[in-house]
């Protein structure tokens, strides 16, 4: 399989305090990768740096074979679902229009979405069980419903790479499982998916690769290789009495 993302010797700091330290890994095309670790371990920082939203102190990132300074040219092939806390939910916009934003990379910012774009947006809302809320203002939705709308926006973008930063925060177990199964379907279609998550129990069932962070990269590889008692103790501290065999 081809490596679609390569990160080499990546260091990121906030006011000279390291948030990531000398992190290196590669991700294969058509795989599903989980980024895990405690709060403050650098998970979101890593994702934002790969998206060129944060500048590193040093290191090299290539995405789809392009050097770091040319990533922006491929943004329409990259979909990003940020944490809910990073979104201004008071902006007056309905669910359908939020999802239609995912089509702007295809139609251009100055053009109006056509019937095809609206049909695709409605199909995406239906895929995430939100078609009946298409004309509802986004700020009227529950946390889980808001997250489904943003996932629909990423889906309709038809991107090659999906970056999801804690997409399961505030959603119920049913929504999380449904989303993971939909992401599995997208992986089968050739998409490459990266997910920041705190749910360690889903790793072995749904993910091909795990990046375990605590400022530095403690381990990377298949879930069985990474989620060992020794690695979990180093990442989370103390002894974790968890059955992660599922």
What is residue 84's predicted lDDT score, i.e. its pLDDT? Answer: 66
Domains, the chain, in order of start with CATH, read: 3-236 (3.40.50.300)
Q: Residue 75: is its pLDDT beyond 70?
A: no
| Of 83 and 238, the one with more pLDDT | 83
b/e string for 59-78 if b means 16 or more Cβ within 10 A?
A: bebbbbeeebeebeeeeeeb
Nearest to 154 by CA among 217, 209, 79: 79
Torsion of CA 51, 54, 57, 63, to 10 degrees: 10
pLDDT in tens, 16-63: 889 999 999 999 999 999 999 999 999 999 999 998 889 999 999 998
Helix boundaries (H) for the chain: 43-50, 95-100, 104-107, 115-127, 143-156, 173-188, 203-206, 223-226, 229-236
How sure is the predictor about 165, in pLDDT bands with cuts at 50, 70 and 90? Answer: very high
What is residue 246's predicted lDDT score, i.e. its pLDDT? Answer: 46
How sure is the predictor about 12, in pLDDT bands with cuts at 50, 70 and 90? Answer: very high
| 63-70 long-range contacts, CB within 8 A, separation 24+ | 63/4, 63/5, 63/161, 64/4, 64/160, 64/161
pTM of the model: 0.88
Q: The dihedral of CA 240, 211, 10, 164: what is its sign?
A: negative
pLDDT in tens, 191-239: 999 999 999 999 999 999 999 999 999 999 999 999 999 999 999 986 5
pLDDT in tens, 228-243: 999 999 999 865 555 5
pLDDT in tens, 109-155: 556 778 888 999 999 999 888 999 999 998 888 877 888 888 888 88
Q: Residue 245: is its pLDDT beyond 50?
A: no
* Strand-pair category, 17-28 with 161-165: unpaired
Q: Residue 190: is its pLDDT beyond 50?
A: yes
């Amino acid at each position: 399989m081809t490596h679609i993302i390569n990160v080499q010797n990546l260091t990121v700091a906030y006011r000279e305090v390291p948030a990531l330290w000398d992190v290196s890994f590669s991700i294969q095309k058509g795989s599903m990768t989980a980024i895990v670790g405690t709060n403050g371990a650098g998970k979101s920082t890593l994702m934002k740096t790969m998206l060129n939203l944060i500048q590193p102190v040093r290191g090299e990132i290539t995405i789809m074979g392009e050097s770091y300074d040319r990533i922006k040219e491929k943004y329409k092939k990259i979909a990003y679902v940020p944490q809910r806390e990073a979104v201004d939910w008071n902006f007056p916009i309905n669910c359908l229009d939020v999802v239609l934003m995912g089509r702007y990379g295809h139609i251009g910012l100055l053009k109006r979405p056509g019937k095809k774009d609206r049909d695709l947006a409605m199909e995406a809302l239906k895929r995430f069980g939100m078609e009946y809320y298409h004309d509802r203002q986004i700020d009227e939705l529950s946390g889980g419903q808001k997250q489904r709308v943003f996932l629909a926006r990423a889906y309709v973008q038809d991107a090659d790479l999906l970056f999801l930063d804690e997409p399961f925060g505030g959603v119920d177990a049913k929504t999380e499982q449904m989303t993971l199964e939909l992401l599995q379907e997208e992986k089968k279609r050739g998409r490459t998916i990266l997910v920041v998550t705190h749910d360690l129990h889903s790793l072995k069932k749904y993910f091909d690769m795990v990046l375990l962070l605590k400022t530095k990269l403690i381990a990377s590889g298949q879930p069985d290789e990474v989620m060992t008692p020794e690695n979990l103790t180093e990442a989370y501290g103390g002894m974790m009495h968890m059955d992660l065999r599922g």
